[in-house]
Amino acid sequence: MPDPADAQCLRELHRLMHERATADLLGAAGLAPTLAYTDLIFSFAFARIGAEADSLACERAAAEVLEPRTELAHQWLLSLFRYRIGAARRDEPHGGIVPPGVGVPTVTELRAERGGEWSFELNLPVYTSQSCARALLVLDPEGATSPFSEWTKKADPIEHALSRLTDERDAARVATDAVAMLHQLESRPAVERLRLWTRLYPLVRRAGRALAIEMTLAVPNVARVPYARKSNWEVLTVHALRDALDFVSHLDDTEAFPPLLDALGERVRAAPGAIDRYDALAALTWPCLRWFRSLGRSEAATLLDRTRDLWPKVVRTETAAPRNSEHTYPRLEAHLAGAAVREYAGEGGATARAITDVSEAIAARGAHQLQSDHSASVACAVATASGAISTELARTAIPEFVRALPRLTNVLTTADYYSRLHLQLAEAVALVLPAVGDW
């Protein structure tokens, strides 16, 4: 039986996400499917807590909208959602390779259906469905989907090498090919090794835990590549550490966590600027919160000691000054992440105060000065931080913050199919309950 408080919390948050999307997208072509995919996200969440009636009701509402549609992207995404929701109802582990005929077909399968040829008409549905899958943990918890691989592999030797693994449905073969690639890495330049590692690691995680654990133990060394200009170093090192921390946070084994914590501190201190530092702090802290909650709360104090001088100091005044949205939202997210760490380390009420700080900072700047994608990102951070502390805080903080957001506009290529910003926000809100997000 589901916890009644959890079920009621999800019902309230589900209504909130419908209200938000309807207000922002009224009259837009993507409104109806966005609401339908929001229903499927919450169907998954209800299934995770055992609220089967609510889960089925959400799935039926979504099917009424999506089943009559003829677009391939909607058909593929509905199939993939149903597969993940079905696994949640059966209490099966979340993630892994989906079987043939489920969800988004691989490029190899699509070519085979068409006698080896590629049709230009497939570009948009493939990109649209893969972009959605890549954006949502409900669909792709390992982050193994690459929406651009079919195009980039022609010019990028790393994407070309990975294309076979991306299309592979056999987990054992993925592991075998991955081992061979890891051996080939040893002679390559450091940044190139890091690039391949960050793309290979999610594919290995999707295929099984044994090799993923082995790769995880090596991540601290892989991520210690020295900073190099024009190398995408900032993104690659954060991706490698974030994915490893996320993987470890779902394990019972605690041995891999301390070395990753050491590497986190080193990476943040090596950041070439304050904005990159705040970006890294937030991205690398979120998966740590799950670990603190389930296994290692004492480690929160260790993380805080190693990074205490690196967090934003006074968000209300500091973030009111920059006029550039790109410079504002990383500070806000880092402030929220740091508050959650401080609360785990013993500072009661730190997260609630930080949410108030962020709300006041946005109001002081003028809501219109924060771009829609940055507003949605900060709202996701509020959901993650509050949910990491308590369901009660999430139930009060999330609705107040989300309702105060400026209008979230959707101008992405996939706008007629769904609003990615609203789906990512809906997922962040749905995953606030540990029973939902701790798979």
Tell whether 103 is covered by a domain.
Answer: yes
With left for phi above 0 and alpha for psi between -120 and 50, is residue 27 left, alpha or beta? left
- What is the per-residue pLDDT for 366? 59
Angle at 114 between CA 112 and CA 120, to 5 degrees: 115
Tell whether 78 is covered by a domain.
Answer: yes
Does residue 160 carry a pLDDT above 80?
A: no
Tell whether 135 is covered by a domain.
Answer: yes
Residues 399, 434: Cα–Cα separation, whole Å: 18
Does residue 130 carry a pLDDT above 70?
A: yes
Mean pLDDT, residues 301-327 taken together: 69
186 pLDDT tier (thresholds 50, 70, 90): confident
Does residue 397 carry a pLDDT above 90?
A: yes
Tell whether 8 is covered by a domain.
Answer: yes
Q: The whole model's pTM is what?
A: 0.92
- What is the per-residue pLDDT for 324? 59
Does residue 152 carry a pLDDT above 80?
A: no
Percentage, residues of the chain above pLDDT 70: 93
Contact 352, 393 (CB under 8 A): yes
Mean pLDDT, residues 347-354 taken together: 94
Closest residue by Cα to residue 144 from 243, 44, 222: 243
Helix boundaries (H) for 208-324: 209-222, 233-249, 257-269, 274-294, 298-307, 315-318
What tens digit of pLDDT does each residue of 206-218 get? Answer: 888 888 888 888 8
Tell whether 19 is covered by a domain.
Answer: yes
Range with the largest mean pLDDT of 43-52, 210-219, 290-299:
43-52
Tell whether 58 is covered by a domain.
Answer: yes
Mean pLDDT for the chain overall: 87
Does residue 182 carry a pLDDT above 60?
A: yes
Mean pLDDT, residues 401-427 taken together: 90
- What is the per-residue pLDDT for 315? 53
- Name residues whose C-beta falls within 8 Å of residue 166's C-beta, 6 or more positions apart in sequence: 106, 144, 146, 149, 203
325 pLDDT tier (thresholds 50, 70, 90): low
Does residue 350 carry a pLDDT above 90?
A: yes
Does residue 319 carry a pLDDT above 50?
A: no
User: How many domains would you assign to the chain?
Assistant: 1
| Of residues 420 and 116, more confidently modeled | 420
Mean pLDDT, residues 386-398 taken together: 92
Mean pLDDT, residues 312-338 taken together: 71
Q: How far is CA 181 from the centre of its chain?
A: 26
What tens digit of pLDDT does each residue of 358-375 get? Answer: 988 887 765 556 688 888
**CA distances, 420 to each of 283, 375, 399 (Å):** 19, 13, 20
Amino acid at 411: V
Range with the largest mean pLDDT of 4-13, 230-239, 253-262, 267-276:
4-13
Percentage, residues of the chain above pLDDT 90: 45
- What is the per-residue pLDDT for 113? 81
| Of residues 6 and 319, more confidently modeled | 6
Residues 372, 348: Cα–Cα separation, whole Å: 31
Does residue 320 carry a pLDDT above 50?
A: no
Tell whether 73 is covered by a domain.
Answer: yes
Range with the largest mean pLDDT of 99-113, 344-358, 362-376:
344-358
Tell whether 136 is covered by a domain.
Answer: yes
Q: What φ, ψ does residue 205 adopt, rounded to 5°?
A: -60, -40
Per-residue tokens: 330: 């990383």
Range of the domain at 101: 1-141
- What is the per-residue pLDDT for 327? 67
Which H/E stretch holds residue 110?
helix 107-113
